[in-house]
Amino acid sequence: MINRALHMVGSYPAGTTADAMNEMLELAGPYLATLPDGETGDRRNWIASVMEGLRTHPDLEVRREGDFAGYDRLLNFRVRRGHRLRGDSLHFGYPETYAAARPVFDAARQAHGRKDLIFQIGLPTGLGMSMFTMGPRGPLLYRRPFSEAIAREISRIREDAGDDVLVQLEMPAELAFVAMSPAPVRPAVAAWLARTVAALVRLTPEGTRFGLHLCMGDLQHTALFRLRDTGPVVTLLNALAARWPSDHRLELVHAPLAAGGEPPPLDPAFYARLSALRLPPDTRFVAGLLHEGRTADELRSTMTAVEEALGRPADIGASCGLGRRDREMARTILRQGAALCGPGVSTA
């Protein structure tokens, strides 16, 4: 029986999918409930490779060139004059990514004796994908076709994998909108964002297993914004939980408590507002606080502050994928997580 699970967000700095999966299992296997493929190679920078693939889309043209060296250097598109962007014309390649990694996952799961392990694949929301691809007006003008395309790809994966896959929706744009809004309007902003996520989820097959990864960004291991406390996380997660479709399974939510190269705060006051979080009893909360900038004792103390504020046990992870760290630093994070997990982890 496992007391605390270790959640791997997605990317891992390994040369191949097999290297990534096997190293995660070797260093932290007993504590993993789900396993991503490591998002190696050109997928290490989240959706950058997907955006590059849109250069040849017949309905799009480059509005601004970008090399993804910083948040102000993102590739950006617009719809060609006289054209219309439709969901059935967009293809992001996630089903093919899943299909390529699945045999590797099956072999690793068998080799490490973890028949209970679930394959995890991360995808952006339609709102986030449209914002980063099409600019600030993207969520208002193009969220629907991006959501339709993402839901179609989730559905294809689910048709192949059944219940043996957890879909992680990745949400830096949503958390940024809430965190950067004036405090009085945050609940209304969060409610609107939650409705957009729920609309996407309803386009996928009933019973699909989901996790939510709230994010502050990690481009070049640098956050897009900072949190002054956990209030925006709580506001957004409560809105999402309240509007979550009952015929889809919300298995976990992951909250970033570190910010890129900045470690999680040591002051317990930063985590106090987690006391207002209202999640379903069977939805796991993952505290994204593992960080090379904190000692084991500091992380243990911080985890205690998180769980005291929540009033319930929490799982643990880093604030984002580890692909922007070097290999030894990623191994350090895995060892940190394993040390903070109990002798066995229950995800039932």
222 vs 53, residue with greater confidence: 53
Specify the pairing of strand 165-171 against strand 60-64: unpaired
Q: Residue 87, Cβ neighbours under 10 Å: how many?
A: 17
CA distances from 311 to 210, 241, 271 (A): 23, 17, 12
Mean pLDDT along residues 166-189:
96
Q: List pLDDT tens digits, range 67-118.
A: 888 888 889 999 999 999 999 999 999 999 999 999 999 999 999 999 999 9
Dist. CA 176–CA 318, nearest whole Å? 18
Task: Note the pLDDT of residue 22.
Answer: 96
Q: List pLDDT tens digits, range 288-319.
A: 999 999 999 999 999 999 999 999 999 999 99
Task: Note the pLDDT of residue 69.
Answer: 83
Task: Note the pLDDT of residue 343.
Answer: 61
343 vs 240, residue with greater confidence: 240
| High-pLDDT (> 70) share of the chain, % | 98
Q: List pLDDT tens digits, range 217-238.
A: 888 888 888 999 999 999 999 9
